[in-house]
Chains A and B, each alone.
Chain A
């Protein structure tokens, strides 16, 4: 079983829509959680960390459910520039081992 699983999508949504991605992780010892964004043919970049109490950064909201071992990302008022692949990342044991999901592709259309 993969460490981190995501729906690959693609999610095709109109501008202004609200879209949510989920991600599940297999190891209950996982300690830190992140969402990264990867544009086509570019490197992944940190979008936001995910805290136990949930956190928000502008139009983006991340939630963590440790009991069910899943992480979610909500994007409100989608922009064309949000089109990218969103990678769920989990860090286990220490800060040296990051596990990536295969990514969820988002296409925001005019």
Chain B
């Protein structure tokens, strides 16, 4: 059973297109995140949701719109894709109580290439 799963794993698309990445976690965690890892391997937080509420939005262009239909899902929609959006996007979740408090559980990543 995959704890945090995201789809698609690979995405190749043209500039200007709109695309979505989906994420689901079956760990019962309250908080979910989107991180972007660029070519220099720097992991930067984009968004965080706690129980479907947006709590972190780290100066991400408004072409990026997260949506959390319930606390187990956090999707990322990107409009008008640009070359600089090429990166690996990681979904993660974390509990806010219990023995694993403070630990991030990551999905396998979605590698986006914009041509």
Q: Show the binding face of A for B, using Cβ within 8 Å.
A: 32, 34, 36, 38, 42-46, 49, 85, 87, 89, 91, 95-100, 102-103
Contacts and interface: CB of A to CB of B under 8 A. Distances in A.
B107 interface: yes
B103 interface: yes
B12 interface: no
B101 A100 contact: no
Contacts of B31: 95-96
B94 interface: yes
Contacts of A89: 104
Tell me if A's interface is mostly helix, strand, loop or mixed.
strand
A97 B48 contact: yes
Tell me if B's interface is mostly helix, strand, loop or mixed.
strand
B106 A34 contact: no
A44 B104 contact: yes
A36 B35 CA distance: 15
A36 B104 CA distance: 9
B48 A96 contact: yes
A95 B42 contact: no
Given A42-B109, A96-B31, A98-B104, 18 more contacts: A43-B106, A43-B108, A43-B109, A44-B104, A44-B106, A45-B106, A89-B104, A95-B31, A95-B94, A95-B102, A96-B56, A96-B96, A97-B48, A98-B33, A100-B35, A102-B42, A103-B41, A103-B42
Interface in B39-62: 40-45, 48, 50, 55-56
B34 interface: no
Instruction: Among A36, A44, A102, find the residue whose CB has the most chain B CB atoms closer than 10 A.
Output: A44
Interface in B59-82: none
A85 B109 CA distance: 16
Contact of B45 (A44, A46, A97): A97
Given A46-B103, A87-B43, A96 B50 contact: yes
